[in-house]
Amino acid sequence: MNVLVPLPVVIPLLTAAVLTATSPLLSKRADDLAGIAAAAATTVVSTLLIVDSLDHDLVYWFGGWKPRSGIARGIAFDVEPLGAALAALAGALMTASFVFAWRYFDEVGTLFHVLMLVFLAALSGFALSGDLFNMFVFFELMSVCAFALVGYAIDHPAPLQGSINFAVTNTIGALLVLFGIGLVYGRTGALNLQQIGRALEGRGHDGLLIVAFALLLAGFLVKAGAVPFHFWLSDAYAVAPIPVCVVLSGVMSDLGLHAIGRIYWPAFSGVFAAQAGSVRGVLVGFGVITAIVGGTMAFFQRDLKRLLAFVTISQVGIFLVGLGLLTAGGLAGTTLYVLASGFLKGGLFLAVGILVRRAGDGDELRLRGKGRNAPMAGVVFLLGGLGLAGLPPFGIFPGSALIIHSAREIGYGWVPTTLVIATILSAGSMLRAGARIFLGWGDADDPSLSHEPRAAEEEPSEASGRASPPLLFLPAIALVLVGLGLAFTPGLAGRASDWAGRVENRPARGAEVLRGVVPHSTRTSSFEPGATPYLYGGISTAGAFGFALFGLYRRRLPVFLRRWPSRMTARPATVLKELHSGVVGDYVAWLTFGAAALGGVLALTVR
């Protein structure tokens, strides 16, 4: 057993406990230093776990309760490179957030660091767990920390409202997950994912399993923020402190989705093997709707944090499509996409933080042209926007190339087009905001954007005129550069496909976890994207620039060009905006509807 395996949870958790106990005795900066050190150490350990698990899974049974004659008795961490990579992403984003928070907050208190560290422990634990109930525990732990962190600026009404919506909807989502776990346990008597798969082996599926799967799916989709479960996300991310947004948007949403893959492959892929096509259709369908709705809503935002929240939703849709293809290529592509975009979105949120700190505002229109005195934030905006737009071969390109390739292979040739549209919408809105703020382009007013947000009073600000301290812009630059540069890791796409293939090989992985049979070292494949992804990447980048210009200068188009389109879209746009009402009851009603729709469609198609 590898002693490193539990460390990504143990390090932040222990540091948090020690910090809580000793905080009255420590000097002012000690909590910052401890936070940075713990998060950095967690990142290093998680990265080592990727390296250690390159050839075979690392299975760690807590307390040494190993399986006996193929029956799991204890609770396991089951580390494979993709999950470890997500844990490493969480650690890296957390480190950057702590560095940023050093100069960002005037006074934040030790509790912030403690909550962030426990949050990190939960994220890592969730990414490494091989056990359904353990996943639930870490899921809840990360939820509770996130609720508290979103509402951290408790003296202002907006974070309170965002936090309440977040907490209520996500708690109901967690209840759905727990219902699903209860049903699965009732059917199989097992909680270890591989053990569940083993117990279901050779049996047909029935109504109960479909209901259980739908409940698990719905619960995790609430966390991920897929349409129509996404309403809480824009409220929460728009009011959370910037360093928290980085982690929420960069890794928490994506882990919610990844959980679907983590439970589907070991536990359900066998029993739903004959119906994989239907499951795929449902997941891809929800994903496409999410990607387009998120991108469209992003266009209507003028509050930068809310804009980034909808960009996040749009990307969740893309990830759901990639994951929902249910192929090794799709899973590998999604993970690479998640990694790159996690860094990029993190950098973008930090750039917004610099703007908020310097101009006291996060509103696109009020900030028009005022970004000139924060040139570093502008650079981050441009690079991040380019990376998110899919400019080959940077940023998200390898991930999206794998997804495109995989979709075409299994006859979903129409999927890449919708992904390109979603990318154009979200990255274009991002670039539009950047051009308006840092270059002063576009009109000073735009009535079709959502109504004017109030000043971001819950965020700290300082008098402008001084140069941004390096501790503010260095983490932003670093995140964006890593996000862009990840694509250049040699052979990454091919290796990721191999790792994903391992995740999807249920029998071999089951034997490894339950019986300790170490598989032969796998092949090393390489991935040649071919010309098509370059074409799509080029189109989405050019499209994003075009769409940004359209957003800026739309009202200067000749009247005959814009009258009909604006009449056609005005009504649906208003309805869509009004749906995001901010009332938690509405959100829960949508959640119920979404879960019912998901279950209904699955029940009808998986027969």
Partner 1 sequence: MSYLPYALAVWIFLCGLYGVVTSRSLVHLVVCLAVAQSSTYVLLLSVGYVNGGGAPIFADVPKGTRAVDPVVQALTLTDVVVSVTVAGLLLALTIQAKKKARTTDPDELAAMHG
Residues that bind partner 1 (CB under 8 A): 133, 136-137, 140, 143-144, 147-148, 151, 154-158, 160-164, 167-168, 171-172, 174-175, 178-179, 181-183, 185-186, 191, 235, 451, 453-454, 581-586, 588-589, 592
377/380 Cα distance (integer angstroms): 5
The sign one gets for the Cα dihedral 418, 575, 568, 544 is negative
- Residue whose CB is less far from partner 1, 58 or 153: 153
User: Which CB sits closer to partner 1, 174 or 222?
Assistant: 174
Q: What is the dihedral of CA 457, 460, 463, 464, to 10 degrees?
A: -90
Using an 8 Å Cβ cutoff, are 2 and 52 in contact? Answer: yes
CB of residue 116 to partner 1, shortest distance in Å:
16
Instruction: Tell me the closest approach of the beta carbon of residue 140 to partner 1, in angstroms.
Output: 5
First to last CA, the chain: 42
Question: How many H-runs (helices) and E-runs (strands) does the chain carry?
Answer: 23, 2
Question: Cα(185)–Cα(64) distance, rounded to whole angstroms?
Answer: 23
Minimal distance, residue 500 CB to partner 1, in Å:
31
Give the separation between CA 18 and CA 459, rounded to whole angstroms: 28
Q: Phi, psi at residue 131, to the nearest 5°?
A: -145, 130
Dihedral of CA 194/199/204/207: which sign?
Answer: negative
Q: Which is nearer to partner 1, 174 or 284 (CB)?
A: 174
CA distance 29 to 581: 41
192: three-class secondary structure by DSSP = strand
Q: What is the closest distance, in whole angstroms, from the C-beta atom of residue 115 to partner 1 in the complex?
A: 11
**CB hemisphere CA count around 432 (13 angstroms):** 35
Cβ 532 to partner 1 shortest distance, Å: 44
Distance from C-alpha of 460 to C-alpha of 448, rounded to nearest angstrom: 29
Residue closer to partner 1, measured from CB, 124 or 170: 170
Q: Which residues are paired to 569 by β-bridges?
A: none
Which amino acid is located at 77 in the chain?
Answer: F
Query: What is the Cα–Cα distance from 422 to 544, expressed in whole angstroms?
Result: 10
Question: What is the smallest separation between the CB atom of 568 and partner 1, expressed in angstroms?
Answer: 28
* Nearer Cβ to partner 1 (136/381): 136
- Nearer to partner 1 among residue 62 and residue 133 (C-beta): 133
CB of 580 to partner 1, least distance (A): 10
- Complex with partner 1: residue 157 or 369, whichever CB lies closer: 157
CB 154, min distance to partner 1, A: 5
Q: Which residues of 115-135 are buried (b: 16+ CB within 10 A; e: fewer)?
A: bbbbbbbbbbbbbbbbbbbbb
Choice between 33 and 160, CB closer to partner 1: 160
Residue among 95 and 143 whose Cβ is closer to partner 1: 143
Closest approach of Cβ 183 to partner 1, in Å? 8
